[in-house]
Amino acid sequence: MAIVDLIATNVVRVPLKSSTKTEIIRELIDVLDKAGKLSDSESAFKAVIARENMGSTGLEKGIAVPHAKTEKVKNLVLAIGIAPDGVDFDSLDGEPSKLFFLLLAQPSQSGPHIEALAEIARITRSQSFCRLLLNAQTPEEVVELFKEE
Amino acid sequence: MDGPVKKIMVYVDGSEKSIIAAQYGICLARATEAEFHVLYVVNTRALNDLVSAKIFLKEEEEEYKKDLDSDADKYLNHVRHLAADKGVNAKVFKLSGSINVEIKNFTKEYEIDLFIIGELSKIQSRRDELYNEAERAMRSVNCSVIIVKDDERVLELYNKLR
């Protein structure tokens, strides 16, 4: 499944309001919850935090890809958040994270989960695309960028 | 075995579409008496990419690899049973690597003359055209390809087979 299939305006938050790592994760989980994608947001939140405790998913160049397996989703779900000013996410390069891709999958959906993460990895290699995303002002613009890319 | 098709291969990835494709392959194998091969590719290329991108920890890579291996066994067994129920002997194969590369190599090595895949995702971006593994496989194999689309008709065909 292509990640563009997972993206709709109701799973995109621009800009994110939170200013800490835990709050960012909570905010993105709330986005998914409000979009009707979760059966238990608290468990989903805990699953993401547990994964973060093993090692931060804050990568380099302002990208973070928090993810987890949880029974609390029916299908693979993705939330995208943009924090133009950056948030400390314990990233590998120590720089603030600005683009967040939170992905949740059923434990039985490892294949699609891996393919979606690999696609995010490919997309975020493009600095020009990341710049365009960072400049997006609305969820509609974000969705359009993914369709055009 | 003098028909137009001698060796059919269907690629399954666990999706519903790929299982429908397998059922269509079973129908065709019965009708043509062709050999029926079923392939699952454990996408270790994607796993490696995730470790390189530092999205996955090493222990996560191991865990997901086990999950994928287990998925492969589950889906291959499922298709083997679907085939056996209709009197077709499925030869199942589990490979690891890059999906489109393994499919291409398999069709060549086993001299497959018909490759069957499930319906492809709707192309929504230029990136889909470049990176969709099934689409790349479809373009790269040297044999003929069938993309199975009509789920209901296929299920009807499959269910009618005695």
Where residue B82 falls (left for φ over 0; alpha for ψ -120 to 50; beta otherwise) is alpha
Tens of pLDDT, residue by residue over A44-85, are: 999 999 999 999 999 999 999 999 999 989 889 999 999 999
Distance CA A21, CA B45 (A): 30
Which of B133 and B149 is assigned the larger pLDDT? B149
Tens of pLDDT, residue by residue over A72-128, are: 898 899 999 999 999 999 999 999 999 999 999 998 888 888 988 988 988 888 899
Q: Which residues from chain A sit within 8 angstroms of residue B55, using beta carbons?
A: 57, 59, 65, 67, 117, 120-121
Tens of pLDDT, residue by residue over B95-118, are: 999 999 999 999 999 999 999 999
Is B62 a member of any domain? yes
Give how far the C-alpha of residue B106 lies from the chain's centroid of Cα atoms, to the nearest Å. Answer: 11
The domain tally of chain B equals 1
Is B44 a member of any domain? yes
Q: Give, as one character, the DSSP assignment of residue B117.
A: E
Q: Which residues from chain B sit within 8 angstroms of residue A118, using beta carbons?
A: 43, 46, 49-50
Q: Which two tokens stand for residue B108?
A: 């060549």
Catalytic residue among A13, A21, A37, A67: A67
Mean pLDDT across the stretch B137-149?
Answer: 93
Is B45 a member of any domain? yes
Is B74 a member of any domain? yes
Answer whether residue B71 shows pLDDT above 60: yes
A67 is known as an active-site residue: yes
Is B31 a member of any domain? yes
Is B72 a member of any domain? yes
Q: Tell if the CB–CB gap between B55 and A65 is shorter than 8 Å.
A: yes
Chain A CA closest to residue B65:
A110
Mean pLDDT across the stretch A15-33?
Answer: 97
Q: Tell if the CB–CB gap between A110 and B67 is shorter than 8 Å.
A: yes
Stated pTM of the model = 0.82
Chain B CA closest to residue A123:
B127
Rounded to 5 degrees, what are φ and ψ at A63? -105, 140
CATH number (domain holding residue B76): 3.40.50.620
pLDDT score of B130: 55
Domain that holds residue B73: 7-154
Is B161 a member of any domain? no
Residue A56 CA: distances (Å) to CA of A16, A121, B34: 19, 15, 51
pLDDT score of B1: 59
- Amino acid present at B135: E
Q: Is the ipTM of this complex over 0.90?
A: no
Q: Tell if the CB–CB gap between B125 and A119 is shorter than 8 Å.
A: no
Identify the residue whose tokens are 């490696």. B48
Is B162 a member of any domain? no
